[in-house]
Amino acid sequence: MAMTGVLRPGHACIRVLDMKEATHFYGEVLGLIETGRDSFGRVYYRAWDEIEHNSIILREADSAGMDFMGFKVDSEASLDRLEADVRAYGIPTERIPAGDLLQTGERVRFQIPSGHQIELYAEKARLSTPQSGNNPPPWNPEAERGIAPIRFDHALLYGPDIEKVQDLFVNVLGFHTSEQIMLEDGKTQLAIFMACSSKAHDIAFVRHEEPAKLHHVSFYMESWEKVLRAADLMSMHKISIDMGPTRHGVTRGTTIYAFDPSGNRFETFAGVQSSYPDHETLTWTWDEVGTAVYYHDRQLNPAFLGVVT
Amino acid sequence: MTSHTVCFVETGETLACTDDRSLLASMERLGRKGIPVGCRNGGCGVCKVRVIAGTCERRVMSRAHVSHDEERDGYALACRITPSSDLAVQVVGKMIRAFPERTGANAEKTGE
Ligand code: FES
Ligand SMILES: [Fe+2]
């Protein structure tokens, strides 16, 4: 099936406690490219291989976490249609005017059952980068500055009612469920991984009492070797590392997790499998939950599971 | 670099903390336990303590976990304070139990 409707994760707005520390981290250590600052003091970034004006937006606030996550849709017509579909499903939506986020068109925002603010947008300025246009090189010097991920890839969010979230994403927004982890009863989902593309996941949720929590935003790396390089850079810069480098059973991703200077977890990962709408949902059972999360340790890590912002 | 002694009031255990790093970082560096370790950067709240006696330097920390009132009462996130005198502290933060609705034997293994 050709991709229509919702195409990919487009942006995430992350709350930071100290903008100066945050911009040093996101700009120099993670190596994202700053593309603008707005009148609210928000700072905008893209990764070196991304074509749109922004993917990560930082906002200084008195708590950490994520304000919202936005998905790119293929057209204004899809934006209108999905807005109507979400409303018809019973979830109120709001339109945020073009230009509220720099270089970004109108956004349709709604709160999903887990408490998170999700947005759809159809327009965002495309930049002319060394990777766009005719005869592009495979990389450019920005690909070696800092950790230098290829793109903002997905987010894992924590909140209640994840089966309702799944119903919305699958039956209204057109995602498919690539993988799931079950609780002890074999019926209740602990975690769901969903994709609007052929990636292993574009968004994932873990069941959690408190709504609207961020577990991590994730950045895609070219290879396992680049994940190890990211780990080296994290230690060189004394970044707080959470777990890894290791591999997930779920999605097969090779990965390392760490925290930004405000305590927001992020992931740099590589090498996940693909998923298609006609594939069956891969299921991880409770007796192998350790393996599902960390394929080598094979046991659950309380900090990895319980620490969120 | 000065060293201060931090006393955990519940257990009576003490910890030597230097003034070049946070209370939590001093604990981790010595391979000690007592305060739960999460993000280490003032965002997640699991390392919350209450300073009963003594003074410390405070860095910005999430208001979602330490309100203004609590701050006045000595509450702080251990990853964002550095002792500037000997301290007496009470550990209040908990590693949030993942999937609290779960019951049974496995709940024990994977909790705190
Ligand atoms: S460890 Fe997260 S706030 Fe201190
Ligand atoms: Fe991830």
Q: Mind listing the pLDDT tens digit for each residue in A13-32?
A: 999 999 999 999 999 999 99
- The answer to whether the CB atoms of A63 and B46 lie below 8 A apart is no
pLDDT tens digits, A121-173: 999 999 999 998 899 999 999 999 999 999 999 999 999 999 999 999 999 99
Tell me which residues have their CB within 5 A of the ion that is ligand 2: A 218, 267
The per-residue pLDDT for B98 is 63
Six token digits for residue B67: 């309100």
Tell me: do A206 and A167 sit in the same domain: yes
Residues whose CB falls within 8 Å of the CB of residue A269, separated by 6 or more in sequence, listed in order: A153, A218, A219, A220, A221, A227, A248, A253, A254, A255, A256
- Structurally, at CATH architecture level, domain B3-107 sits in Roll (3.10)
For residue B29, is pLDDT > 50? yes
Across the range B19-40, mean pLDDT stands at: 95
Pairing label, strands A213-220, B56-58: unpaired
User: What sections of chain B are H helices per DSSP?
Assistant: 23-29, 68-72, 105-110
Rounded to two decimals, the ipTM of the complex is 0.94
The per-residue pLDDT for B94 is 86
Sequence length of chain A is 309
Tell me: do A190 and A75 sit in the same domain: no
Q: Give residue limits of the domains in chain B.
A: 3-107
Residue A217, in any domain of the structure: yes
User: What is the average pLDDT score of chain A?
Assistant: 96
User: Which residues of chain B are within 8 Å of residue A238 when distances are taken between CB atoms?
Assistant: none
> Measured between alpha carbons, how far is A84 from A82 in angstroms, rounded to an integer?
5
Instruction: Please state the separation of Cα A307 from the chain's center in Å.
Output: 17
Question: Mapping DSSP to helix (H, G, I), strand (E, B) and coil, where does residue A286 land?
Answer: helix
Tell me: do A70 and A192 sit in the same domain: no
Distance from CA of B3 to the nearest CA of A (A): 22
Q: Indicate whether residue B36 lines ligand 1 (CB < 6 A).
A: no
Number of independent structural domains in chain A: 2
Q: Indicate whether residue B93 lines ligand 1 (CB < 6 A).
A: no
For residue A180, the enclosing domain spans: 151-306
For residue A192, is pLDDT > 60? yes
Tell me: do A160 and A287 sit in the same domain: yes
> Measured between alpha carbons, how far is B43 from A19 in angstroms, rounded to an integer?
14
Give the whole-number percent of chain A exceeding pLDDT 70.
Answer: 100
Which residues of A are annotated as catalytic? 154, 201, 216, 248, 257, 267
